[in-house]
């Protein structure tokens, strides 16, 4: 706040309105936003990203801002649900990254009001650059585009690990926000299990809505046919571990995330869908 000359009251207003804009979903709520913000900060500082990519203060700020807003106004159903039911947002955003576009555009719309505009004191050039970065980071959290971003990342770091150019810095920050967003799998088992229960609850709620609408129930969202163990093992094998391992090669301080993911995967392989001990 001191570095960017942000008015304290405006910052408090902004934090309050962003927190209030998260709904009471089992998983995609303000606690998830705070959690992702915390992990993003950890990756950028203790994880070594700021030093590794020679990030500036405005890059760090954009990363934290993106984490805080990345699921703002999340309705508790995914992009596929919006597209299949052709909601207003699906039409508005042409079926492309529906929720992610909603999250980031809503917050910038709020910031047109002076009482929420924490960028008011920023020079035009920095404000424009930060907005571009934030939009790119939040849109990268669309899991429908996960393979695209991971492939781009792997190709880039196979060339060399010198990511101090602007485009490379932004790609690295996109990957770190993606990692923070699905970081639960790379946490100690008790923490991971609590978050896993929350996401399962939210998935089942979407499945219930799909059943009521006469739609095919999305994979892993049918509470009458729970397959949590399989869904989690597949998610870790095909989504989490390849990305975490690649990031850990670049940021060795994040290697612990791979260790915890392997442990959590092993738990499901050992116990299946049996209930956890009391």
Domain ranges of the chain: 1-181, 184-278
Q: DSSP alpha helices (H): ranges in the chain?
A: 8-20, 30-44, 49-53, 57-69, 79-85, 88-92, 98-110, 124-139, 146-159, 166-181, 189-212, 228-235, 241-250, 255-271
pLDDT recorded at residue 227: 87
**What topology is assigned to 1-181 in CATH?**
Catalytic domain of cyclic nucleotide phosphodiesterase 4b2b (1.10.1300)
| Mean local confidence (pLDDT), 10-36 | 98
Give the pLDDT confidence of 42-55 residue by residue, as tens digits. Answer: 999 999 999 999 99
Q: What are phi and psi of 220, to 5 degrees?
A: 70, 15
pLDDT recorded at residue 274: 63
Give the pLDDT confidence of 104-161 residue by residue, as tens digits. Answer: 999 999 999 999 999 999 999 999 999 999 999 999 999 999 999 999 999 999 998 8
What whole-number distance in Å separates Cα of residue 181 and Cα of residue 187? 12
pLDDT recorded at residue 272: 83
User: Cβ(78)–Cβ(206) under 8 Å?
Assistant: yes
pLDDT recorded at residue 161: 82
Check pLDDT > 70 for residue 22.
yes
pLDDT recorded at residue 275: 55
- CA 70, 36, 223, 260 dihedral sign is positive
User: In the numeric block, which tokens belong to residue 196?
Assistant: 């896993």
pLDDT recorded at residue 226: 87
Out of 3, 23, 28, 103, which one is annotated catalytic? Answer: 28
User: In the numeric block, which tokens belong to residue 35?
Assistant: 């959690």
At 57, is the pLDDT very low, low, confident or very high (cuts 50, 70, 90)? very high
What percent of the chain lies above the pLDDT cut of 90?
94
| Mean local confidence (pLDDT), 179-202 | 97
CB atoms within 10 A of CB 21: 18
pLDDT recorded at residue 88: 97
Check pLDDT > 90 for residue 278.
no
| Mean local confidence (pLDDT), 17-21 | 98
Active site residue 28: yes
pLDDT recorded at residue 84: 97
pLDDT recorded at residue 276: 52
Distances (CA, A) of 150 to 156, 163, 269: 10, 15, 26
pLDDT recorded at residue 92: 97
Helix (H, G, I), strand (E, B) or coil at 191: helix
What whole-number distance in Å separates Cα of residue 80 and Cα of residue 98? 9
User: Cβ(116)–Cβ(145) under 8 Å?
Assistant: no
- CA 91, 93, 98, 103 dihedral sign is negative
Which of 235, 215, 194 lies closest to 77 in space, CA to CA?
A: 215
User: Cβ(86)–Cβ(120) under 8 Å?
Assistant: no
Give the pLDDT confidence of 200-257 residue by residue, as tens digits. Answer: 999 999 999 999 999 999 999 999 998 899 999 999 999 999 999 999 999 999 999 9
User: Cβ(31)–Cβ(202) under 8 Å?
Assistant: no
């Amino acid at each position: 706040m001191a570095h960017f000359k942000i008015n304290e009251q405006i910052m408090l207003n902004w934090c309050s309105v962003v927190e209030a804009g998260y709904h009471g979903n089992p998983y995609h709520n303000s606690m998830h936003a705070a959690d992702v913000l915390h992990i993003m900060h950890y990756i950028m500082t203790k994880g070594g990203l700021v030093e590794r990519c020679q990030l500036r203060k405005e890059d760090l700020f954009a990363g934290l801002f993106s984490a805080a807003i990345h699921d703002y106004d999340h309705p508790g159903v995914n992009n596929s649900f919006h597209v299949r039911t052709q909601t207003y947002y699906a039409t508005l955003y042409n079926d492309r990254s529906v929720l992610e576009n909603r999250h980031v555009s809503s917050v910038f719309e709020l910031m047109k009001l002076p009482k929420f505009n924490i960028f008011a004191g920023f020079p035009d050039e920095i404000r424009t650059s930060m907005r571009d970065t934030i939009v790119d980071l939040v849109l990268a959290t669309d899991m429908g585009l996960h393979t695209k971003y991971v492939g781009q990342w792997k190709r880039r770091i196979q060339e060399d690990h010198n990511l101090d150019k602007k485009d490379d810095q932004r790609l690295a920050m996109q990957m770190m926000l993606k990692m923070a967003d699905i970081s639960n799998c790379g946490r100690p088992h008790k923490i991971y299990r609590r978050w896993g229960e929350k996401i399962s609850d939210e998935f089942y709620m979407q499945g219930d809505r799909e059943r009521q609408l006469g739609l095919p129930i999305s994979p892993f969202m049918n509470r009458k046919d729970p397959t949590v163990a399989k869904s989690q093992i597949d998610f870790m094998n095909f989504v989490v571990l390849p990305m975490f391992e690649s990031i850990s090669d670049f940021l060795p301080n994040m290697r612990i995330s791979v260790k915890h993911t392997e442990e959590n995967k092993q738990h499901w392989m050992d116990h299946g869908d049996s209930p956890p001990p009391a």
